[in-house]
Amino acid sequence: MSLITRLLRPRRIVHAHCDIPCGIYDPEQARIEAESCLRIIEKHDASDDKLFRARCIHVKEERAELVKQHLDVLWHDYFKPEHLEQFPALHETFWNATKQASKVKQSLDVAAAKELLTMIDTIDDMWKGTGGLEKTRVSGRPS
Amino acid sequence: MSPPRLSIPLITTLVGTAGALAAGAAARRWLDAVEVRGGSMAPTLLPGDRLLVESSTFTRRRPRAGELVLAPDPRDPARELVKRVAAADSEAGKLELRGDAPGASTDSRAFGAVPSASVQWRVLARYWPPSRVGRLDG
């Protein structure tokens, strides 16, 4: 194949490679599940129905588990070493937040569920600070 | 839509020069054209960019920090990467490769330093798209 042909349509592909697709991780996922936990605890406390209360506990534990999963994925798949330089408290923040999610899973403590939301918001600030918002959210979506 | 000024003569020059070299180059394969996939070199290189690369320089000397190079992916040697040399350890004969978009790049931070000897191709210039034609070798 002549160089001219190759210039017009190179068949040799070089990869500016990244293992991790950007723009698909959003702390909103964890936040939504954590909000569910809080609301479910409130509904549990407001009810006298034994069966309903049991269901609340069951669903709340499921949602809390999802919080942990979403935070874990965000932590090890989205955040990179240079983000840690930017936010030295990153690891500790995630550690504390996932521990808090465990606490919410185990208890019916409204304050613990609210604290989890605050912790997710701290992570959200870091995510936004690394350009996550611009890379992830489709335009037109409120921040 | 009219093409950006200067780009047509530039392309003509590049393609002309390349054409003049084609016979020998094609035979010896020291000049080649490649297309970029992926975004880890943004904003320097974007997906779809076409580049002129040459393999003569690194027969004379080792790659230097700051140069854009092609390197086999240590985890999948059939795949060729385009990255920037972040640091060159001449004693160990190793290169640290980085993407220009470090937040969206898999590079030496993930797969470690690569042997200098495995890096043979240097990026010279971009010839496509016309609006972004230009040298990339310093």
ipTM: 0.80
* Res A25: pLDDT: 87
Lowest mean pLDDT among A42-51, B2-11, B44-53, B114-123: B2-11
* Res B1: pLDDT: 44
| Residue % of chain B over a pLDDT of 70 | 80
Q: Which residues contact B130 (CB under 8 A, 6 or more apart)?
A: B3, B4, B7, B8, B10, B11
Predicted confidence (pLDDT) at residue B5 exceeds the cutoff of 70: no
* Res A140: pLDDT: 65
| Mean pLDDT, residues B16-34 | 67
Nearest chain B residue to A19 by CA distance is B106
In terms of Cβ atoms closer than 10 Å to its own Cβ (0-12, 13-18, 19+), residue A97 is: buried
| Residue % of chain A over a pLDDT of 70 | 93
What is the distance between the alpha carbons of residues B82 and B73, in angstroms, rounded to a whole number? Answer: 9
In terms of Cβ atoms closer than 10 Å to its own Cβ (0-12, 13-18, 19+), residue A100 is: buried
Lowest mean pLDDT among A18-32, B22-36, B71-85: B22-36
Better-predicted residue by pLDDT, B131 or A18: B131
- 3-state secondary structure at position A13: strand
| Structure confidence by residue, pLDDT tens digits, A75-99 | 988 887 778 888 999 999 999 999 9
What mean pLDDT is reported for chain A?
Answer: 91
Cross-chain Cβ contact A10/B34 below 8 Å: yes
Which of A7, A15, A83 is opposite residue B33, by nearest beta carbon?
Answer: A7
| Mean pLDDT, residues A36-64 | 98
* Res B68: pLDDT: 98
| Mean pLDDT, residues B118-129 | 96
Terminal CA-to-CA distance of chain B, rounded, Å? 32
| B84 within 8 A of B41, measured Cβ to Cβ | yes
Nearest chain A residue to B109 by CA distance is A81
* Res A142: pLDDT: 65
Cross-chain Cβ contact A16/B26 below 8 Å: no
What is the distance between the alpha carbons of residues A77 and A72, in angstroms, rounded to a whole number? Answer: 8
Better-predicted residue by pLDDT, A21 or A30: A30
Predicted confidence (pLDDT) at residue A57 exceeds the cutoff of 60: yes
Which range, A35-39, A133-137, B6-10, B74-78, has the best average confidence (pLDDT)?
A35-39
pTM of the complete model: 0.56
* Res A91: pLDDT: 96
Q: Which residue has the tokens 């010896």?
A: B28
| Mean pLDDT, residues B115-120 | 96
CA angle at B12 for the pair B80 and B31, rounded to the nearest 5°: 30
- The answer to whether B45 contacts chain A (CB < 8 Å) is yes
Compute the nearest-CA separation of B122 from chain A (Å): 12
* Res B83: pLDDT: 97
